[in-house]
Amino acid sequence: MIARCNYTAVPALGQSSTDGWVAHGFNRGGHESANHSCPPPLKRWATQSTMIHRINVGGSLVLAVLLTVGQAAADPARGNEPVRWRGMSIQLSKGPGALKAYQPLIGEVAELGADTLLLSVAGYMEHARSQAIYIDARRSPARDDLITLIRQARKHKLRTILMPIILLKHPRGSEWRGVIDPPHWNEWWKDYRDFIKYFADIAREAEADALIVGSELVSSEKHTKEWETTIWTARAHFPGGKLGYSANWDHYKPVKFWGLLDFIGMTSYYTLADRKNPTVEEIAARWRPLKKEIMDWCRQVDKPLLLTEVGWCSQEGAAMAPWNYYQNMKATPPGHEEQRRLYEAFLQVWDGSPGLLGVCWWEWTSAPGGSGDFNYTPRNKPAEKVLRRWFAEGKPASRPTESSP
């Protein structure tokens, strides 16, 4: 059972605790009271051809609305003119005060020229060998606040993607979510499906466009049947919405459940240089064979590709280990220039690629950015100018219809 945890500073007596805080009640499936045990009426229906399947999820029969195979074949993202999702990502890591913190950022993303917004929100495990998954009310927007944020993005004509992820609260050594190994996998999967159902219900009610059903859970990917059940569960709770999974950049081929999803999601933290301050041409030369391998494979799988995390810190050496924020934590003009070159080289190689559904840049934050910042955000840095130019180049005359992928 997934729990949304509100905390008070009272020692735990016979209950699990987090950092000395007691977790208080939240009903199965993430609903705030028993009166919400059934999903609210649908506010958006699939505009594509659909078929209804009666499937068994968690021991209960439910009706799932699924896209027909024939309709998927007509998906514009598969043709010579792929639908381009030009997106920016925001991490939602506040509970109280979430609207005040994130509503201005959504407006800023729209002003940048993006047409897509990816909202990343976390659930937690204590460490890689823990059993329970929980939502920390101090670090995750309340249900109604998250719905409000998604609806605000839509008012700004932003396509919206909701990406729930698992983070480790107290990782041991180099642990991360890609190596989780809970004591009882069967129980973990029940909790994880409750976790996904909670956010699928939010995505449906807020009329989001897409839901990422998992992110970089490498050690879980061998459980294909469990992932299939999880995807069917998400379909049942988010009918008409697009579903994807965000694979780690070095582990997308072993995944065996791509066929049940609408698109392939993938991060992009490849090593692109062997030294600091590489040129645009050197970075592009490293990208070309990687892109060819990825897109050749996507054509075999017959699914469009969404790059869910594209970004680099403004640090010297960012091209050498893009995933390693800690390698050179200081802001310098050469570091900002390296970030700009990485943006330029990526677009030089990837822009206009058939089969590329879109790109979500990582990330936009409330930090002022600028010359003293060495984080991923491009705000007030040379990379922001590159991004604005690219967003402007792809600006449609009007927002795509809901039938677009």
Divide the 405 residues of the chain into consecutive groups of 10 and give the mean pLDDT of each group.
48 30 29 32 32 40 38 37 79 97 98 98 97 97 98 98 97 95 98 98 98 97 98 97 96 97 97 97 98 97 97 96 86 97 97 95 97 97 97 69 45
Q: How many CB atoms lie within 10 A of CB 392?
A: 11
pTM of the model: 0.81
> Is the CB of residue 327 less than 8 Å from the CB of residue 315?
yes
58 is a domain residue: no
Supply the DSSP symbol for 252: S
Rounded Cα distance between 341 and 259, Å, is 35
- What pLDDT is stored for residue 46 in this prediction? 33
- What pLDDT is stored for residue 4 in this prediction? 55
76 is a domain residue: no
What 3-state class would DSSP assign to 157? Answer: coil
39 is a domain residue: no
Q: Give tens-digit pLDDT for 80-127.
A: 444 489 999 999 999 999 999 999 999 999 999 999 999 999 999 999
Q: How many domains does the chain have?
A: 1
- What pLDDT is stored for residue 2 in this prediction? 62
Q: Is the peptide bond before 363 cis (omega within 30 degrees of 0)?
A: yes
Half-sphere exposure in the Cβ direction for 316 (13 Å, CA):
8
- What pLDDT is stored for residue 84 in this prediction? 82
What 3-state class would DSSP assign to 7? Answer: strand
- Residue 105, amino acid: L
- Residue 249, amino acid: W
292 is a domain residue: yes
User: Which structural domain, as residue segments, surrounds residue 285?
Assistant: 82-393
What 3-state class would DSSP assign to 379? Answer: coil
384 is a domain residue: yes
> Is the CB of residue 64 less than 8 Å from the CB of residue 235?
yes
Kindly state the tokens that stand for 247. 């694979």
Rounded Cα distance between 82 and 299, Å, is 13
Rounded Cα distance between 365 and 15, Å, is 35
Kindly state the tokens that stand for 2. 């997934």
Nearest CA to 224 out of 261, 263, 265 is that of: 261
312 is a domain residue: yes
320 is a domain residue: yes
Rounded Cα distance between 151 and 315, Å, is 35
- Name the one residue in this structure whose structure tokens are 């939602």: 92
Output the domain CATH number for residue 143: 3.20.20.80
> Is the CB of residue 275 less than 8 Å from the CB of residue 316?
no
46 is a domain residue: no
Q: Supply angle C-alpha 279, 285, 288, rounded to 5.
A: 140
